[in-house]
Amino acid sequence: MLSYWEKQSLLQYDMIIVGSGIVGLSTAASIKEKSPEIRVLVLERAVLPTGASTKNAGFACIGSLTEILDDLKCNAEDQVLDLVQLRYEGLNKLRVRLSDEKIRYATNGSYELIQEADKDCLKELDRMNDLLFPILKARAFTPADEKLREFGFSSEHAAHLIRNNFEGELHTGEMMRALIDHCLRLGIEIKTGCEAIIIEENRGQVQVVVQHHYLKEEISFTANKVAVCTNAFTKQFYPEMDLKPGRGQVLITEPIVDLPFKGIFHFDKGFYYFRAVENRVLFGGGRNIDIQGETTTDFRFNEKIREDLVNKLREIILPGISFKVSDWWAGIMAFGETKVPVLEKRSDRIFMGVRMGGMGVAIGSAIGEKLANMMLKV
């Protein structure tokens, strides 16, 4: 039951971006920054981005020492270095576009906890610093055992500490608010509650069909080009893709008096991560103890992992310190056989930037710019 006016003027765009997470909004922003005359629409299935963009821990990461070492066991060296380069460039792009002040970017320290049983990785410090030097122009990792007593972690689980000199932290909510505001200032339209159910080429255009829940009918937007930026939910459109969802469980405590540490922290090859947030501890991860159970797009809690996180918080991070968990949530990431994101041209009119491998904050801005360049190329 659309009117003549709606059909004539409100459904046609030059480019449509499906998905309003970090990659989708970064793609839209890059298009408008380069070509202000282009009409760009962003469609979001829910009221807020439904994935990981508003649910992550706010880490500005290039990768921990053990995580990169583990990647080198399974991937070619050039591929691993390219990913580190992409993360580094993506974070710089994010900070320049939005400003450190608006995203509350800070460098309060980034550290990795190393158990005594895993101390052999310390022998790799010089090799890894040499490997990453052409990208970072300085030493990426330095020993920081002198901080262990100050931070108060369990000595059984944190026998050593490694500092990452190129990581920081940000406020996820303020980052997304700033990115949305930036897109609106550029003249980008963002429609929420518009779940795309069909994306198909037809008569020299791309149709993106959404369900109008109030009118109980389908509405078809058209554009010259469309970008699919739906990360873990992309198999809805392309079921043959090498893409698996990965759910991440996260908790945050109530404020803790005299919290003994600041900064961001990793352990167990990046599968666990925690940080100080306004005297609270935000702690997430544990997907590795139930990979099958967390390979899902369902927004549910995993009780096995929740119990594991609370136990590790009590035994490793805050031994002897009383705390209460104030909130839980989960985010949905996307993974594949490799950590390389999918950035491709599906046809002359349909493009894709998905499978961020849990590094959307770091690489989302760079992927968005690359995707925009592909779409703008004649």
- What percentage of the chain exceeds 70 in pLDDT? 100
pLDDT at 45 (0 to 100): 95
Phi, psi of 298 (to 5 degrees): -80, 130
**Mean pLDDT of the residues in the chain:** 96
Q: Which of the listed CATH numbers 3.30.9.10, 3.40.309.10, 3.30.70.240, 3.90.190.10 matches domain 244-335?
A: 3.30.9.10
pLDDT at 156 (0 to 100): 87
**How does pLDDT run across 90-127, given as a tens digit for each residue?**
999 999 999 999 999 999 999 999 999 899 999 999 99
Confidence of residue 212 (pLDDT cuts 50, 70, 90): confident
Does 212 or 362 have the greater pLDDT score?
A: 362
Q: Is the pLDDT of residue 213 over 90?
A: no
Q: Is the pLDDT of residue 378 over 60?
A: no
For 350-367, b where at least 16 C-beta lie within 10 A, e where not — what string?
A: bbbbbbbbbbbbbbbbbb
Q: Model's pTM, two decimal places?
A: 0.96
**How does pLDDT run across 45-76, given as a tens digit for each residue?**
999 888 899 999 999 999 999 999 999 998 99
Read off the pLDDT of each residue in 25-32 and give the average, rounded to a whole number: 98
Distant-in-sequence, close-in-space partners of 31: CB < 8 Å, separation ≥ 6: 15, 38, 40, 372, 375, 376
Structure token digits, residue 376 = 């703008």
Report d(CA 369, CA 28) in Å as an integer: 9
Q: At 186, which amino acid appears?
A: L
**How does pLDDT run across 236-246, given as a tens digit for each residue?**
999 999 999 99
Q: Does the structural domain 4-54+174-241+339-376 have CATH classification 3.40.50.1980?
A: no
pLDDT at 228 (0 to 100): 98
The domain ranges of the chain are 4-54+174-241+339-376, 244-335
Q: At 28, which amino acid appears?
A: A
